[in-house]
């Protein structure tokens, strides 16, 4: 299976430095433009299914992609949501005391839900192409699964850009091939 992974377009909340978590988020003017450019980039891909977080910032991005793929099924799923940030959601990132105990979702919970949707999609779309539209934290969890790396190792990577494209060739033996990573050439 070919798996294309992308992050949603920029949101008004991203611009303001607000931690979104499970908040819907609203694509900014730039975010809408990024989503349209991403859709044009993926226009010639033979896409069989688009799986997106059901949060508005991701689903609005996925809808732009789907415009060029009327035969692809579009699924809005909770499993691809960003990390639940609990009571930190909606707060300015610069004002959060990260040393205090938090009521946020645990990595193990995220890993479980991301693995669940990945396994379902792989089983259903073997030999085909699927797109995941998600969020930075969730994509890192997915990358830890696909690259067989710890989440701590992945924290050292550059942050994932809005509407960046990463492509994997998914193999049954779990020796997946990374074809493209965090590419934003469509935004130039």
Give catalytic residue positions: 8, 135
Q: Which two tokens stand for residue 84?
A: 């639940």
Closest-CA residue to 174 (of 144, 151, 153, 141): 144
Per the CB < 8 A criterion, the answer to whether 11 and 136 are in contact is no
Strands 2-7 and 129-134, bridge-based pairing: parallel
CA pair distance 120, 95, nearest whole angstrom: 39
For the chain, how far is it from start to end, CA to CA, in angstroms?
29
**Torsions phi, psi of 81, nearest 5?**
-65, 160
Evaluate whether 136 touches 80 at the Cβ level (below 8 Å): no
Return the bridge partners of 18, or none: 92
What residues pair up with 180 in beta bridges, in sequence order?
Answer: 167
Residue 31, both tokens: 């975010």
**Nearest in space to 52 (alpha carbons), one of 137, 131, 107, 120:** 131
């Amino acid at each position: 299976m070919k798996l294309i992974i992308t992050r949603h377009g920029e949101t008004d909340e991203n611009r303001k430095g607000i931690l979104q978590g499970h908040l819907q988020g609203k694509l900014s003017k730039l975010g809408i433009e990024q989503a349209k450019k991403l859709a044009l980039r993926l226009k010639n891909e033979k896409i069989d299914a688009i799986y997106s977080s059901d949060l508005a910032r991701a689903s609005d991005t996925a809808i732009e992609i789907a415009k060029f793929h009327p035969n692809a099924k579009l699924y809005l799923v909770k499993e691809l949501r960003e990390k639940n940030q609990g009571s930190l959601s909606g707060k300015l990132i610069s004002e959060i005391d990260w040393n205090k105990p938090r009521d946020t979702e645990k990595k193990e919970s995220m890993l479980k839900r991301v693995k669940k949707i990945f396994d379902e999609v792989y089983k259903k779309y073997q030999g085909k192409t699927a797109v995941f539209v998600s969020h930075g934290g969730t994509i890192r969890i997915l990358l830890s699964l696909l690259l067989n790396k710890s989440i701590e190792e992945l924290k050292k990577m550059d942050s994932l850009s809005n509407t960046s494209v990463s492509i994997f060739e998914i193999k049954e033996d779990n020796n997946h091939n990374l074809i493209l990573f965090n590419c934003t050439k469509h935004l130039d």
